[in-house]
Structure 1
Amino acid sequence: MLTTVIATSGFLARKYVDKDEKSKKKIKTGLAVLLNISVSIAIILTNKWLYTVVGFPNMTLTLMHFMTTFICLHVCQAFGVFSVKKVPMTSMIPLALCFCGFVVVTNLSLENNSVGTYQVAKVMTTPCVLLIQYYCYGKFASKATILTVIPIIIGVVLCFIYDIKFNLIGTVYAIMGVVVTSFYQVLVGEKQKELQLNSMQLLYYQAPMSAVILILPVATCEPVLQLAYRSWTFMELVPVVCSCLIAFTVNFSIYWIIGSTSALTYNMAGHLKFCLTVAAGFFLFQDPMSANQLFGLILTLAGVVAYSHVRS
């Protein structure tokens, strides 16, 4: 009798500890999602100012982002925030290449497509991630999860249906952007599991490798020498530094969300960010919103809420 009581008590204690750990993980993931949404909006606004007002080259800024990320991670490692784990460098090459391809192709997609076409192509990353996980890694998504994706796609299409315009080169870049971005997001999660690395450890290897790969296209395609010899004012340098530091937080939060949950959950966080951005534009800046845009926004938000409920 006493043995049974002790065994039952041990089982209940383990169950309570497991439940408590799951609750803490959900809270940490929720905070990471909120952090990602906040810093993503901040870096979009900062980078937009740098591109339009300062005329800062896109890939050069991305290269600086990854160099800053590596420096910040090196400082964190020196202070004992995480420890560096040795892994084969060749195993990091696919992830680094996918990142560089994702940056270059998505920028070309935005350059050659309307905003509406770009956003609709971007939302197609979600079903593409599901297909890659199924065909490449044998991971099955539940019917309930798949059903939550449908209103999100319809919602985004309704929001931008007035601005959808197709052209051959733009469509090619849009399709390439969807595929490369999807592979990049899936690889972030798979590499963390395969190599038994946490988000900081993986980013510590991927950031400098991606920076090295970007050096050649930056040196050949962008005016690096003009930037070096340009007279910079304090008000121009501050947003560059801020953009680099924010990028470290963005990159870390992306890796944390995907590593702790999945690439699909990270996509859902992106859709939530889209809803908040459109809503903020309407309420804060009185941006016009038609009936179909409002309905599309509600559908997208409903899909995100439904996904959260299914995952819970």
Structure 2
Amino acid sequence: MESKDEETALDSALYEDRLPRWRTSSQQRSRFIDALWVGLNASATIAIVFMNKFVFADPQLRKAQIMISMWHFAATFIVLCAASRGSRRLFTPIRLPTLQVLPLSAFFAGFLLLNNLSLATNPVGVYQLAKILTAPAVVWINFILFRKTIERNKILAVLITCTGVGIVSVDALRTNVIGTAIAGAAVTITACYQIWIGKKIVDLGVEAPQLLLNQSATAVCLLIPISLCIDTFPDFSIIPANTLRFLFAGGIVASFINLSQFMIIGRTSALTFNIVSNIKMLSILSLGWYSEGKIFTLVDVVGILLAFSGAWWYTKS
């Protein structure tokens, strides 16, 4: 009886030895996790663009954009609080000194305000160009402030990606002195905000969700006086229920965007996040054009190929 059991065990061991085995290095696992966060950020961003388009179709909510941004960060705070509770919590919450988080929240408030002003004072083409220039601005500010450099291959990849997105998205470049100044300030403050996310994660020795939990609460407090000065408070009782449902869902989706942004920057860099952002913008434009029945020109196709080629080269550099 024992010999039969031993023979069965031996056959089982031999069978297991013949099975294919996949071994993954820690670097491969890390890249897979990075790809998941990038995928979440991209899909959530595309979703919220079309959700916001529906929400801002309401004339009242269109005049309360800062208030809606406050709701997005309040929703982020609520989602992270829920994720940090219970025995199966995703991370351990910690309370950071307000003065340590305040600069990051101030950068966010400036980023939000200046980008809205840039869109209001410039044509859409100039606004899109400013967003594209954020990636080179990140490289420049990192070098000026921290003497950080990147490989030549990555610089070329960034330039190719930005050129491709610019070819597709930028048209009718007409602007003015005030609009140009605001657009330049918006580019600078956006780059600083993204750089400071990565800097604070390292300086404070915290995880991305821990930093975002603290920053989201501080950002809401900073935006309250701005909202009181700029927004017109809507009468929610006359807003259609379907619009309110999209507004509520937009807050949840925004929490995924905010968390994935912090995770991507914390795990990689602000520059990598900008490459992802440029590809997202191109995808959103392409989907919008497709839904509108626009015919892609040769210039559009060349721009798309350049952008995706640059992004692919960046990941391989």
Partner residue of 1:253? 260
Q: Deviations over 1:181-216 (max 9, x none)?
A: 000000011111111111110001000100000000
Partner residue of 1:21? 26
TM-score between the two structures when normalised by the length of structure 1: 0.88
- Paired AA for residue 259 in structure 1: G
Which ranges of 4 or more aligned residues in structure 1 deviate by more than 6 Å? none
The alignment partner of 1:145 has SS state of helix
In structure 2, what is the Cα distance between the partners aligned to 1:19 and 1:249?
Answer: 28
- Aligned runs of 1:83-102 on 2, under 5 Å? 83-102=92-111
In structure 2, what is the Cα distance between the partners aligned to 1:297 and 1:95?
Answer: 33
Higher helix content, 1 or 2: 1
Larger Rg computed on CA atoms? 2
- CA drift at 1:88: 2.2
Partner residue of 1:7? none
- Aligned runs of 1:192-271 on 2, under 5 Å? 192-224=201-233, 226-227=234-235, 230-271=237-278
Q: 1:61 and 1:128, CA in 2 relative to 1: closer, same or farther beyond 3 A?
A: same
Q: 1:232 and 1:280, CA in 2 relative to 1: closer, same or farther beyond 3 A?
A: closer
The alignment partner of 1:162 has SS state of coil
Alignment partner of 1:77 out of 74, 80, 84: 84
Partner residue of 2:197? 188
Is 1:274 aligned to 2:287, yes or no? no
Partner residue of 1:298? 305
Q: 1:147 and 1:37, CA in 2 relative to 1: closer, same or farther beyond 3 A?
A: same
Q: Is the 8 A contact 2:134 2:190 kept in 1?
A: yes
Q: Is the 8 A contact 2:168 2:304 kept in 1?
A: yes
- Paired AA for residue 175 in structure 1: G
Q: Please, which runs of 5 or more residues in structure 2 have no aligned partner?
A: 1-22
In structure 1, what is the Cα distance between the partners aligned to 2:250 and 2:264?
Answer: 21
Q: Deviations over 1:12-44 (max 9, x none)?
A: xxxxxx962211111011011011010001111
Q: Is the 8 A contact 1:97 1:210 kept in 2?
A: yes
Is 1:174 aligned to 2:183, yes or no? yes
- Paired AA for residue 33 in structure 1: V
- CA drift at 1:305: 1.1
The alignment partner of 1:163 has SS state of coil
The alignment partner of 1:68 has SS state of helix
Q: Is the 8 A contact 2:94 2:210 kept in 1?
A: yes
Alignment partner of 2:124 out of 105, 109, 115: 115
The alignment partner of 1:289 has SS state of coil
- Paired AA for residue 251 in structure 2: C
- CA drift at 1:103: 0.7
Q: Is the 8 A contact 1:117 1:160 kept in 2?
A: no
TM-score between the two structures when normalised by the length of structure 2: 0.87
- CA drift at 1:54: 5.0
Q: How many residue pairs align between the two structures? A: 291
The alignment partner of 1:141 has SS state of coil
Identical counterparts, % of pairs: 28
Partner residue of 1:67? 74
- Paired AA for residue 48 in structure 1: K
171-180 or 77-86: bigger deviation: 77-86
Q: Please, which runs of 5 or more residues in structure 1 have no aligned partner?
A: 1-17
- CA drift at 1:161: 4.5
268-277 or 245-254: bigger deviation: 268-277
Q: 1:281 and 1:64, CA in 2 relative to 1: closer, same or farther beyond 3 A?
A: closer
RMSD: 1.7
- Paired AA for residue 50 in structure 2: L
